[in-house]
Amino acid sequence: MSDSPDFNITNYSLEDLIELIGAGSTQTQESIRGAINNAVKQFEALQNSDAVTFFKEVGEKLLENFGKLQDIIDSLDQKEESVYDENVSENEYYNSENISSLLTEELPNRKENVSVLDPENHMTQGQGRLLIPNVHNVNTTQGSMNPTLRNTYLNIINVDSQYREIKSGSVKCSGIDDNTSNKYLGTSTDFTFDLSEPMHNVMSITVGSIEVPRTWYPFNEQFGTTSFEINGKLVTIPEGFYDDPSVLESVIKSQLITIDPSCNIDICGNTFKTTIDCSSNFTLNFIPDVSGCNLNNSGAKVDHNLGWLLGFRQPRYPMVAGGEMNRYASEGCVNTFGTRYLLLKVNDFQSNRVTGGMVSLTDNQEKFKLPSYYRKIKASTPFCSTDENGVPNPQTNTDPSGAILQRPNSGGVETFVRSCRKGTQNPNSIIDGSNNITNAQKYTAQQIVISRKNKSQNRYFAPTDTDILLRFPVDKNSDRRRPIIYGNDGTQTRTYFGPTTLKRLRVQLLDDKGYPVNLNNMNFSFSLIVKQLYQY
């Protein structure tokens, strides 16, 4: 069987010829001539004489039998409509039996998309265009207010803590201005400021870049990482940087010699683990009660103290017999680096935004809310663990955790006369928060106070806040004179529900504990990229 086209007109019926040139174009003789002329011109351009002759014969045969064509066209239209009107399901859903042919019609053929343009002479090949839309958004569109359409524009807010507000100088009694000192409002890592001009129609803000000097001390008194007790005697090291573990070892040794020359500390240069031993019995306490240390809920905690930085994971170690075989070795490695990341908290004093901030680990504590009547109890006769003289209440079998008892407030109690509707007036006054509270209410409040006291953990909790705008890592650099320079990739963005106005900001730079970083009177800076609405 030959693969060449059949140009013998006698082998085709009128129905075949109508389908060949299209049934829709055979309504009139003019449409038949137009379809034949188009076909002839195409094949003349391809210099295919056989096809030209064939289509001329097709036109002559269709025009000679034009009276019979309308009935054939009507039968073809009815046959096509019957395919779609057979039932509803076939009209609504595809035919799964012929899915390959349907996919061939819908999906572009990217593999077999090359055809021969001139098969008789030069065999020229050409690649066809895929039947897919070639539409994309243009970068520039004509606007109405301006020649080019712009919906938003960007502004930069430069925040530098060195320019925070300084109080104006006061006047002495002698009438001389006292301008001899700088009285900054807030610290360099926690301050509030007004913008030089309000930012209107703000849609979103994001941090562009941030520059922070490496001047915070990993070993500092505020967090209780400068002291520990050995045999009840306090060992204290100066605040500062101890990047080299050998320097830290030497400083602690010099302090141990003054307390107990038989005690020694060793930081292994290979494993970075710490060993403490003495020739006599000794105990270790890494969370000593040092007055003035626990400021702003900071200080030494069970999970952050000098022992923790040395690698010891327990807050206290009991007494052991002295000697090399009875010594304490740290469970972890020495950490002289400090915080591994910093948090930038920006309070814009706006509620027209997504409240999502930074979510972290839960503290796993069941917090019981004190009843409303506890305010009366606390004001006059609170539940305390000591008496009026500060002497601890004795423990009982029913309360082994500590006797939490109700006693009158040292500042005095509030009393009032009992009301009486009839009969003899009661001469005894009522103590507010004691006589007007039932025993059941007293017991409930007492147990909640005990529960809150027992469940409190002396540890740091993961920082969580809705105003955290940026979390960025602190890379370890041997040269602390070089500041941390971090460029944001734009993923940490604060988006507002609608155009808003920014006038005032509060900025805080926090460590991994959620407390403002102490930069030792150094300043940090960052930039805010503000996206503002120009027109809808």
Asked whether the beta carbons of 534 and 209 are under 8 A apart, the reply is no
* Per-residue pLDDT, 483: 84
Does the pLDDT value for residue 293 go beyond 90?
Answer: no
Q: Is 336 helix (H, G, I), strand (E, B) or coil?
A: coil
Gap between the Cα atoms of 230 and 284, Å rounded: 5
Count other C-beta atoms under 10 Å from residue 483's C-beta: 16
Query: What's the pLDDT tens digit per position in 122-146?
Result: 767 777 776 677 777 778 888 888 8
pLDDT, greater one: 12 or 392: 12
* Per-residue pLDDT, 197: 94
Does the pLDDT value for residue 44 go beyond 70?
Answer: yes
- Across the range 463-476, mean pLDDT stands at 88
Gap between the Cα atoms of 320 and 493, Å rounded: 55
337 pLDDT band (50/70/90 cuts)? confident
155 pLDDT band (50/70/90 cuts)? very high
Does the pLDDT value for residue 323 go beyond 90?
Answer: no
- Across the range 109-115, mean pLDDT stands at 68
Contacts of 24 (CB under 8 A, 6+ apart): none
pLDDT, greater one: 299 or 291: 299
325 pLDDT band (50/70/90 cuts)? low
Does the pLDDT value for residue 479 go beyond 80?
Answer: no
- Across the range 451-467, mean pLDDT stands at 75
**Torsions phi, psi of 343, nearest 5?**
-120, 135
pLDDT, greater one: 316 or 445: 316
189 pLDDT band (50/70/90 cuts)? very high
Least confident among 87-91, 181-185, 293-297, 477-481: 293-297
25 pLDDT band (50/70/90 cuts)? very low
Does the pLDDT value for residue 86 go beyond 80?
Answer: no
* Per-residue pLDDT, 510: 94
The 8-class DSSP code of residue 417 comes to P
446 pLDDT band (50/70/90 cuts)? confident
Contacts of 148 (CB under 8 A, 6+ apart): 140, 141, 142
* Per-residue pLDDT, 131: 66
Q: Which long-range contacts (CB under 8 A, 24 or more apart) does 521-524 make?
A: 521/188, 522/188, 522/213, 522/215, 523/160, 523/161, 523/162, 523/188, 523/213, 524/161, 524/188, 524/189, 524/210, 524/211, 524/212, 524/213, 524/483
Q: Are strands 468-473 and 177-178 parallel, antiparallel or unpaired?
A: unpaired
Picking from 362, 358, 369, the residue whose alpha carbon sits closest to that of residue 461 is 362
The runs of H, that is alpha helices, within 65-118 are: 66-84, 88-92, 99-106
Query: What's the pLDDT tens digit per position in 191-223?
Result: 999 999 999 999 999 999 999 999 999 999 888
Cα torsion through 389, 393, 394, 397, rounded to 10: 170
* Per-residue pLDDT, 145: 80
Which helix H or strand E contains 152, and what residues bound it? strand 152-160
* Per-residue pLDDT, 469: 92
How much of the chain, in percent, has pLDDT values that exceed 70? 69
* Per-residue pLDDT, 276: 92
Does the pLDDT value for residue 161 go beyond 90?
Answer: yes
Side-chain half-sphere CA neighbours of 277 within 13 A: 12
- Across the range 45-68, mean pLDDT stands at 82
Does the pLDDT value for residue 178 go beyond 80?
Answer: no
Q: Report the phi/psi class of residue 514: left, alpha or beta, with left for phi > 0 and alpha for psi in -120 to 50.
A: left
**Torsions phi, psi of 240, nearest 5?**
145, -165
Picking from 38, 46, 235, the residue whose alpha carbon sits closest to that of residue 226 is 235
Query: What's the pLDDT tens digit per position in 408-433?
Result: 665 556 665 666 666 666 666 666 66
First to last CA, the chain: 68
- What pTM does this model have? 0.61
Least confident among 51-60, 215-224, 527-536: 51-60
pLDDT, greater one: 518 or 86: 518
Asked whether the beta carbons of 213 and 521 are under 8 A apart, the reply is no
Asked whether the beta carbons of 315 and 287 are under 8 A apart, the reply is yes
Does the pLDDT value for residue 37 go beyond 80?
Answer: yes
Contacts of 472 (CB under 8 A, 6+ apart): 210, 341, 342, 344, 484, 486, 488
**CA-CA-CA-CA torsion sign (130, 131, 137, 138):** positive
Residue with tokens 């195409």: 42
Asked whether the beta carbons of 35 and 20 are under 8 A apart, the reply is no
Does the pLDDT value for residue 295 go beyond 50?
Answer: no
Least confident among 79-93, 123-137, 372-386: 79-93
Gap between the Cα atoms of 312 and 330, Å rounded: 4
Query: What's the pLDDT tens digit per position in 256-281?
Result: 989 888 899 999 989 999 999 888 88
**Torsions phi, psi of 30, nearest 5?**
-65, -40
* Per-residue pLDDT, 58: 82
* Per-residue pLDDT, 428: 66
381 pLDDT band (50/70/90 cuts)? low
Share the mean pLDDT of the chain. Answer: 78
Picking from 261, 470, 237, 257, the residue whose alpha carbon sits closest to that of residue 336 is 237
For residue 508, the cross-strand partners are 190, 345
- Across the range 352-369, mean pLDDT stands at 74
Question: What are the extents of the domains in the chain?
Answer: 9-106, 155-212+341-361+461-536, 227-329, 374-455
